[in-house]
Structure 1
Amino acid sequence: MEASDDLPVVGTLADLTSLVERDRNLYVRWSRGPAADLRAVSSTDDLTGVAMPGLSANPLDVETWWRGRPVELWVARRLYDYGHLPREKGAGIRPWALKGREVARGPDNEPLVADVRPLCWIDDAVIAQARTEVARQASPWGPLRRTGR
């Protein structure tokens, strides 16, 4: 595992989509980066403080039920759904793509990934493009984030 944050930066939604179309077992992680994450090797459950057996991440691989819909829209959706994390988790949180192996599921049913290979940072412009793509849909999605009582 390389723990360097010296990664290439993907600057467009189209470029990230090309990566997803070429490879499998890809995930996006929102954090302070591989250097910090790969030292810890695992995520911690925010509610209980329990160490989990991998890094929590969100899959980028297209599911079969997507059935021929645009891959770019799939990737936009995966980014859009978690775009709130930089605001919620604070300064320095940004998305990066990785290749890994799912070893378990976290408390929100998110994949926990091991054997992580960092691929690239995802530029803020890509997140903006994802938001625009979602907004262009006939029935735009609401945010995934749900507030508690």
Structure 2
Amino acid sequence: MPDIARADSPAVEGIPTLHSLDELLRLVRPGVFVRYSKGPEDDDGSTSRDYESGLDLPGLSVNPLCPELWWTRPLDEWLARQICNYAHLKDDSDDERRAWILSGDPVGRGPDNEPLVREFTPLAWVSDDLIHEAKRLYEARFEVAKDSTGG
């Protein structure tokens, strides 16, 4: 299994905490992602795992913050959706998972088609205030949990 490592990055203690979607907007570019975990230091040297198959993945599971070309809605709506898609990992976990922003180059895709990043640079922590703002926007602008079955 390949090593996962932080690319030349600032000290984790020195990375800023984002408190609003406006602050997050300033970081968006290709190769920037959100991840829910204990944090960069815990993830350094580890990989994600597909728990259904029992297989180790070749990188860390992340969610893209740069929208796809087909996305024609406002950027803040994309960000809110991306932040909210895996927020349950923080809420449902008793292992102190947090949301944080990182940059890196994808090395593949996970079982849910999520990008996998091997080397990363931590950019920022995501505050609870930002997550709450994202949830409010997501619930106001989207038909949350609606799928192709009409449910």
Instruction: Tell me the TM-score normalized by structure 2.
Output: 0.83
Distance 2:20 2:57 in 1: 32
Between the aligned partners of 1:12 and 1:143, the Cα distance in structure 2 is 26
Aligned pairs, number: 139
Does residue 140 of the first structure (1) align with residue 143 of the second (2)?
A: yes
* 1:35 aligns to 2:41 (yes or no): yes
- 1:63 equivalent to 2:68? Answer yes
The answer to whether structure 1 residue 95 and structure 2 residue 99 are counterparts is yes
2:18 is the alignment partner of 1:13:
no
Counterpart amino acid of residue 33 in structure 2: Y
Equivalent position amino acid for 1:55 in 2: L
Secondary structure at the counterpart of residue 87 of structure 2: coil
Equivalent AA in structure 1 for residue 12 of structure 2: D
The answer as to whether partners of 1:73 and 1:133 remain within 8 angstroms in 2 is yes
How far apart are residue 5 of structure 1 and its match? 3.1
TM-score by length of 1: 0.84
Could you tell me how far apart the structure 2 residues matched to 1:127 and 1:8 are? 15
Contact residue 29 and residue 96 of structure 1 kept, 8 A: yes
State the 1:135 CA deviation.
Answer: 2.1
Does the 8 Å CA contact 1:3/1:36 hold for their aligned counterparts? no
Matched residue, 1:44: 49
Question: Which residue matches 2:3?
Answer: none
Q: Does 2:133 correspond to 1:125?
A: no
Q: Which of 69, 80, 87 lines up with 1:76 in the alignment?
A: 80
Q: 2:22 is matched by which residue type in structure 1?
A: A
Structure 1 unaligned runs (5+)? 145-149
What do residues 98-142 of structure 1 show as CA deviations (whole Å, max 9, x unaligned)? Answer: 1011111112221111221110101111110011111222x5322
Once residues 10 and 55 of structure 2 are traced to their aligned partners in structure 1, the CA distance between those partners, rounded to angstroms, is 23
